[in-house]
């Protein structure tokens, strides 16, 4: 344990689904283990989760529906994950109408802090750092947020555009320029807030303006993207920050017994799973998975929330009723799978295991 005089108070700002929160929980736990005083500033629905780990918590508006309100949360996530209008929904419904509230709450959270770590979505992290005079570093959860002209981001259902943009970096730069022009009307409230606080306009809040000049933490595996020439020079690719719930003394070791028996009873299954947001709009993802494995003559393991099993049970399929688990443990079944079909954010990644223990990507 470090000497108390060297301990720092570090505020980690984040917002969104579990995939946006778990990486910062992992970082906070490691900071605490090294003798620092981390505090996670995020929406109030995660208070219980974070305080149960004996981490500091500060509530930041707006308050989102909890997982115990599926009738409210499911239609909201369906709008937020719309392939064309999802980004507008996130900004227009959850962030921009509450911009000043987010600023007020996060400003209160950083009082006395030695460092602020920002997430891309709240948009006011850089403003709080400048206005309050707090040192800060930024973070991103996927290569998409780095907007490289050499490895350009591509929206859903547009694979052809990626092939076109990869022809030359000039096309990628043109794409980024167009993205800035098209999104300029959405981020005007950010510029107004900066002006009201007497701050210069700064860069585009969704693109270059989100990155700290002191450092950018790329919280994903280098397997997802190689370093690009136009990334901020101070970017550090850290790998996935893993947060496993089975690390606490009161948690049982290994997999639930029913799941372990299933894995031991036959060949390695194909695993079908979704991320913490996509699972709410799974539609027929799991049914299609069952149908595919039936055609292949293979076993399947479907990982999802309890309501995901309803239609599978109606088809007469066998469902293992396990106790609720908020996140996959370190000893997750991925290492026992022949292959996986999944859709999850990098923040919801889990490390596969084999007989020798966890394998870090």
Is 112 buried (19+), middle (13-18) or exposed (0-12) by CB count in 10 A?
Answer: exposed
**CATH number of this structure's domain 4-237:** 3.40.50.2000
Segment 17-41 shows an average pLDDT of: 95
Question: pLDDT (tens digit, 9 = 90+) per residue, 163-178?
Answer: 888 889 999 999 899 9
pTM: 0.82
d(CA 9, CA 116): 9
Question: pLDDT (tens digit, 9 = 90+) per residue, 100-141?
Answer: 999 999 999 999 999 999 999 999 999 999 999 999 999 999
d(CA 336, CA 98): 44
- Residue 183 CA: distances (Å) to CA of 190, 206, 213: 12, 8, 23
What are the residue ranges spanned by the domains of the chain? 4-237, 245-352
Cβ 320 vs Cβ 264: under 8 Å:
no
The rounded radius of gyration (Å) of the Cα atoms in the chain is 21
Residue 95 pLDDT: 93
Residue 256 pLDDT: 77
Secondary structure (3-state) at 67 = coil
Mean pLDDT over the full length of the chain? 83
What pLDDT band is residue 325 in, cutting at 50, 70 and 90?
very low
The two beta strands, 353-354 and 115-118, are unpaired
More confidently predicted of 273 and 21: 21
More confidently predicted of 118 and 321: 118
What pLDDT band is residue 308 in, cutting at 50, 70 and 90?
low
**What contacts 263, CB < 8 A, 6 or more positions away?**
255, 269, 301, 333, 336
Residue 327 pLDDT: 44
Question: pLDDT (tens digit, 9 = 90+) per residue, 194-253?
Answer: 999 999 999 999 999 999 999 999 999 999 999 999 999 999 999 999 886 555 555 556
Closest CA to 116 of 217, 228, 248: 217
d(CA 175, CA 150): 11
The single residue listed with the structure tokens 């007020």 is 104
The single residue listed with the structure tokens 């969104």 is 16
d(CA 246, CA 79): 33
Q: What percent of the chain has pLDDT over 70?
A: 79
Q: Is the pLDDT of residue 1 over 50?
A: no
Is 290 buried (19+), middle (13-18) or exposed (0-12) by CB count in 10 A?
Answer: middle
Residue 352 pLDDT: 41
């Amino acid at each position: 344990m470090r000497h108390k005089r060297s301990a720092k108070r570090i505020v980690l700002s984040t917002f969104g689904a579990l995939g946006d929160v778990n990486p910062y929980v992992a970082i906070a736990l490691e900071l605490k283990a090294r003798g620092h005083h981390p505090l996670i500033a995020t929406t109030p629905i995660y208070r219980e989760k974070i305080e149960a780990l004996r981490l500091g918590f500060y509530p930041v508006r707006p308050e989102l529906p909890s997982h115990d309100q599926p009738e409210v949360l499911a239609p909201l996530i369906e709008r937020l994950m719309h392939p064309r209008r999802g980004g507008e929904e996130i900004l227009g419904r959850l962030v921009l109408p509450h911009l000043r509230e987010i600023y007020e709450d996060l400003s209160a959270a950083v009082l006395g802090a030695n460092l602020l770590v920002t997430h891309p979505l709240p948009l006011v992290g850089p403003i709080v750092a400048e206005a309050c005079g707090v040192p800060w570093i930024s973070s991103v959860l996927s290569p998409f947020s780095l907007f490289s002209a050499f490895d350009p981001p591509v929206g859903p259902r547009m694979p052809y555009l990626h092939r076109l943009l990869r022809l030359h970096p000039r096309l990628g730069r043109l794409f980024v320029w167009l993205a800035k022009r098209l999104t300029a009307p959405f981020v005007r409230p950010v510029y107004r807030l900066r002006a009201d606080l007497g701050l210069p306009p700064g860069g585009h809040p969704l693109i270059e303006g989100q990155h700290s000049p002191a450092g950018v933490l790329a919280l994903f595996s280098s397997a997802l993207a190689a370093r690009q020439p136009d990334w901020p020079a101070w970017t550090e690719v850290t790998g996935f920050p893993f947060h496993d719930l089975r690390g606490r003394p009161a948690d049982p070791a290994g997999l639930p017994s029913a799941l372990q028996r299933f894995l031991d009873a036959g060949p390695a299954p194909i695993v079908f799973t979704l991320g913490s947001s996509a699972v709410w709009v799974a539609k027929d993802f799991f049914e299609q998975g069952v149908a595919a494995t039936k055609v292949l003559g293979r076993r399947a393991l479907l990982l999802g929330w309890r309501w995901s099993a309803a239609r599978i049970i109606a088809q007469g399929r066998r469902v293992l009723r396990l106790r609720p688990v908020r996140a996959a443990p370190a000893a997750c079944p991925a290492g026992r799978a022949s292959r996986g079909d999944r859709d999850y954010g990098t923040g919801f990644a889990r490390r596969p295991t084999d007989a020798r223990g966890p394998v870090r990507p």
